[in-house]
Structure 1
Amino acid sequence: MIRGSEGAATPRGRGRGHAPLRLRAALASLAFTVPVLLGAGPGGSGETIPLAGQEPGERLDVTLTQVVDPASPAGPAEAAATKVDDRLVAVRFRLENTGTAVYQDSPAASAHLLDTAGQRFAGLNTATTAGASFPDTVTLDPGGTAEGFVTFELPRDAGLAAVQFALNGGLADDVGQWSLS
């Protein structure tokens, strides 16, 4: 399901087997054709979207709280790793484990940024001056919370359209989406 600011949920059909890559491509194009699913402003909405994972008891409330565009690399190593014609965008999330299972996942792998040209960018653990990044793996007991930034590298002139988050390294069927335009 994709959940947006209006809390709308759109079920996705399931056939035999799983086709996550095709499904992800369809979701990326859907983001630009169904505006009712979009919801946050460019600074971060503060909107919380409840998301389920693939295993029983995996549930998170995910809140997009801040977008820093552009974000400055935290040090020389991060600056050297950024392509010359690219920029960094840092997105801050708050995660709350509302399920009954322990959440153990990589927020960077769970997040994607969509630009206005329809390109999709994977989250990175690149440190920026925006604030503390999530560690490579976050572990939250039921009721636990964590906050941190996920960084994206995209072309300097790319327009921001939306941010997506899904549990299980971005592979869960339940996808939260916040509009950035």
Structure 2
Amino acid sequence: MRTRTITATALLALTLAACGPADTVNTTPKADTTADTSSKTVTSAPPAKKATAAAVGDTLTLKGMEDGEQLDVTLKQWLPTAKGADEFNVPSDGKKWAAAQFELVNTGSKVYSDSPQNGAQVADAQGQRFSSYFGEIAAGPQMASDLNLPKGEKALGWILFEVPKDSKITSLQFAMNSGFSDQTGQWSVK
């Protein structure tokens, strides 16, 4: 009887531990810290509303699964149609390549060790989602597939996606921990 009670208690504790914080999607760009705040002019005009959907050029701060894992992720460029680096790097028949250039800055207290491509995906206007794809494009080097990024350092590179030719990509997502983190960043793209 005592063994059953201990086993049931252990199972309940494991179940509750697995129900951690809810998954979230962050679309709010990081506040611009470069603005000059030395001027204290008072105006009667209301403050301009900040965009609530991240877009190309915006930075999102994302947390990983472990304490101390944090990145500032900037979508630097978006190519709705990307060209292969040479005649051997081409999309499959009926497909096209799209690519996103990301800058990852480790703002956490731990080394960020991951394969960033695993945590990236795009969605089209129909709601279809596509994971990353390996290939070389003419726009520049791809993101390192085995990234070990020390605290305070940054990484820059392209992540490639193979999608149907008629697909209109509308959003791009990135999450740490090969996409298993509870927090996902999302940018609107055109």
Deviation at 1:125, TM superposition (A): 2.8
Relative distance call for 1:157 and 1:37 in structure 2 (3 A) is: farther
| TM-score for both structures, normalised by structure 2 | 0.73
* Residues 87, 114 of structure 1: alpha-carbon distance in 2 compared, 3 angstrom cutoff: same
Of residues 53, 59, 63, the one that matches 1:38 is 53
Q: TM-score, normalised by structure 1?
A: 0.77
Please state how far the C-alpha of 1:138 moved relative to its aligned partner: 1.0
**C-alpha displacement of 1:37:** 6.2
Structure-2 change in CA distance of 1:59 and 1:169 (3 Å): same
Q: Aligned residue for 2:161?
A: 152
**Which residue pairs with 2:73 in the alignment?**
62
Offset at residue 170 of structure 1 (A): 0.7
Which runs of structure 2 are paired with 1:114-133 in the superposition (5 Å)? Answer: 114-133=123-142
Q: Return the alpha-carbon distance in structure 2 between the equivalents of residues 116 and 144 of structure 1.
A: 35
Code of the aligned partner of 1:83? S
Unaligned runs of 5+ in 2: 1-23, 31-50
- Tell me what 1:3 maps to: 26
Displacement over 6 Å in runs of 4+:
none
| CA distance, structure 2, for counterparts of residue 58 and residue 52 of structure 1 | 6
Contact 1:109/1:124 (8 A) holds in 2: no
* CA contact 1:69–1:90 (8 Å) conserved in 2: yes
Residue identity matched to 2:83 = S
1-side partners of 2:135 and 2:176: how far apart? 20
Distance 1:100 1:6, change over 3 A: closer
C-alpha contact 2:25 2:186 (8 A) present in aligned 1: yes
Partners of 2:76 and 2:102 within 8 A in 1: yes
User: What is the rounded CA distance, in whole Å, between the counterparts of 1:118 and 1:180 in structure 2?
Assistant: 14
Identity of aligned residues (%): 36
How big is the shift at 1:75?
2.3
Answer with 1 or 2: which has the greater Rg: 2
Paired residues for 1:20-99 under 5 Å: 38-40=53-55, 44=56, 46-79=57-90, 82-99=91-108
Deviations along 1:78-106, one digit per CA (max 9) or x if unpaired, are: 22xx2111000110000000001100111
Q: Is the 2:29–2:59 contact (alpha carbons within 8 Å) kept by the matching residues of 1?
A: no
Measure the CA separation in 1 of the matches of 2:117 and 2:134: 6
8 Å Cα contact 2:80/2:169 also seen in 1: no
TM-superposed CA distance for 1:6, in Å, is: 5.4
Alignment root-mean-square deviation, CA: 1.5
Aligned residues: 147
> Is the alpha carbon distance of 1:93 and 1:6 closer, same or farther for their aligned partners in structure 2, counting shifts above 3 Å?
closer
